[in-house]
Amino acid sequence: MILILADSTDPWAARIHREVQRTGGDVRWVEPVQLLDKILLNWPVMAREAVVQGFLEIDGQRIPLESLTGIFARLPFPLRVDLEGLSDADAGYVTKEATAAWLAFLNAMPCPVINRPVPGGRPTLISGSPLLAPLAQTHGFLLPPVRCTSSQTDALQQFMTWGGSAYLKPLGSSEPGQFLHAHDGAEQISRIMEQQAVSLQTVPPGQQATVYVAGERAVATVLRSGEAVSQPVEVRSSHTARCRDLARALGLTFAECQIVIGPSGEIWCLDISGTPNFWRCPQDVQQQMVEQLLEYLSEQRSLAQHDSSHGTDGRSSARECVRQACGPER
């Protein structure tokens, strides 16, 4: 069974839910705000058990945890749940306890969790991050200069200094950023900075591309019509493989990667996001992504994902014990 934890307005969740139903699969969908009302969680924490014990009770139906093949998790952390009637102090306590419990649960389940949450959240900027920048460079990416600012004047000046071209992303946002162009970039900066600070990155010359990752594959690449390229630049399988591997290293099995391939074949990484933008994704790529996600979430596995030799969900380490549950390793 596939469990979807997402808002009713989430387009990716809606497509996955519809596809599972169309193919006759078993799926349950619970909105995050109803998490405490809709789901009763019985989960005994037991060390070194080959089979996950416990169950979920959703709308009165008991579902053994071992029957979960995958979880599509689009939960905000800290959780935002309906706690009407509680005092502020009680609501704060319940929110913290529920957040800790679901973070632990989603990280303990051996089935795939897309995307498995990280306590404290994931860093959202590549360039300038002491955690992500070295990791991206290890995977063969170059990183462009970046400027973070809360000043519109500063941002506009930097945008003009870079020739009216930049990649903008609101600070703290898990959503993909956007490319700015000379004809409307100043307007976009002013609009976005009315509410929050931003990061600006210079866009290197070359072929701009968006690589979509789902499961363990780089599913599709969409070329962008950015700055004119003096000679055609080929997007090779090795380029998309780097995006897939970087996403895997970040614990992302559902991601959108913004890259630029330079005239000499160098590859720049501007952004990698665990919340791909549905509305900017071409329809044929949307379908490919949904099909790959469904396959990934439906596959029965004999090994926990975070115990796999590849560390698909970013949980492998020298301290973890890789053990076979039942049957041969897939």
Which CATH number belongs to the domain containing residue 173 in this structure?
3.30.1490.20
Question: In this structure, what DSSP letter does residue 237 have?
Answer: H
User: Is 170 domain-assigned?
Assistant: yes
User: Are 126 and 239 contained in the same domain?
Assistant: yes
* Cα–Cα distance measured from residue 221 to residue 208, given in angstroms and rounded to the nearest whole number: 10
* Cα–Cα distance measured from residue 138 to residue 132, given in angstroms and rounded to the nearest whole number: 10
Calculate the dihedral angle through the C-alpha atoms of 3, 299, 217, 306, rounding to the nearest 10 degrees.
80
* Cα–Cα distance measured from residue 8 to residue 33, given in angstroms and rounded to the nearest whole number: 10
Give DSSP secondary structure letters for 170-191: ETT--S--EEE-TTTHHHHHHH
Write down the pLDDT at residue 301: 63
Range of the domain at 42: 2-114
User: Are 156 and 177 contained in the same domain?
Assistant: yes
User: Are 54 and 84 contained in the same domain?
Assistant: yes
Strand partners, 169: 199
Write down the pLDDT at residue 329: 35
* CATH assignment at residue 63: 3.40.50
Select the highest-mean-pLDDT range: 2-16, 98-112, 212-226.
Answer: 2-16
User: Are 239 and 177 contained in the same domain?
Assistant: no
User: Is 223 domain-assigned?
Assistant: yes
* Cα–Cα distance measured from residue 132 to residue 250, given in angstroms and rounded to the nearest whole number: 8
User: Are 257 and 272 contained in the same domain?
Assistant: yes
Write down the pLDDT at residue 231: 66
* Cα–Cα distance measured from residue 214 to residue 33, given in angstroms and rounded to the nearest whole number: 26
User: Are 55 and 88 contained in the same domain?
Assistant: yes
User: Is 126 domain-assigned?
Assistant: yes
Task: State the alpha helices, DSSP H only, in the chain.
Answer: 11-22, 35-38, 88-108, 132-138, 152-161, 185-192, 237-249, 283-298
Write down the pLDDT at residue 160: 95
| pTM, entire model | 0.87
* Cα–Cα distance measured from residue 82 to residue 89, given in angstroms and rounded to the nearest whole number: 15
Tell me which of 187, 203, 219 is where a domain ends.
Answer: 203
User: Is 98 domain-assigned?
Assistant: yes
Longest distance between any two alpha carbons in the chain, whole Å: 64
Average confidence (pLDDT) over 298-308: 57
Is residue 99 predicted with pLDDT exceeding 70?
Answer: yes
Strands 207-214 and 198-201 turn out to be: unpaired
Q: What tens digit of pLDDT does each residue of 181-237 get?
A: 999 999 999 999 998 999 999 999 999 999 999 998 999 999 987 655 566 678 889
Using left for φ > 0, alpha for ψ between -120 and 50, and beta otherwise, residue 46 falls in beta
- The domain total for the chain is 3
* CATH assignment at residue 222: 3.30.470.20
Q: What tens digit of pLDDT does each residue of 111-160 get?
A: 999 999 988 778 788 887 888 899 999 999 999 999 999 999 999 999 99
- For 31, the 3-state DSSP assignment is coil
Q: What tens digit of pLDDT does each residue of 222-277 get?
A: 998 765 556 667 888 999 999 999 999 999 999 999 999 998 889 999 999 999 99
Question: In this structure, what DSSP letter does residue 142 have?
Answer: B
Write down the pLDDT at residue 277: 96
Strands 113-114 and 39-42 turn out to be: unpaired
User: Is 321 domain-assigned?
Assistant: no
User: Is 210 domain-assigned?
Assistant: yes
User: Are 183 and 211 contained in the same domain?
Assistant: no
User: Are 196 and 294 contained in the same domain?
Assistant: no
User: Is 283 domain-assigned?
Assistant: yes
Could you tell me if 112 and 70 are in contact, meaning their C-beta atoms sit under 8 angstroms apart?
yes
User: Are 177 and 292 contained in the same domain?
Assistant: no
Write down the pLDDT at residue 125: 83
Is residue 314 predicted with pLDDT exceeding 70?
Answer: no
User: Are 130 and 272 contained in the same domain?
Assistant: yes
User: Is 320 domain-assigned?
Assistant: no
Write down the pLDDT at residue 50: 57
Write down the pLDDT at residue 276: 96
User: Are 22 and 88 contained in the same domain?
Assistant: yes
Q: What tens digit of pLDDT does each residue of 23-66 get?
A: 999 999 999 999 999 999 998 877 656 567 899 999 889 999 99
* Phi then psi dihedrals of residue 68, to 5 deg: -75, 125
Write down the pLDDT at residue 84: 87
User: Are 59 and 94 contained in the same domain?
Assistant: yes
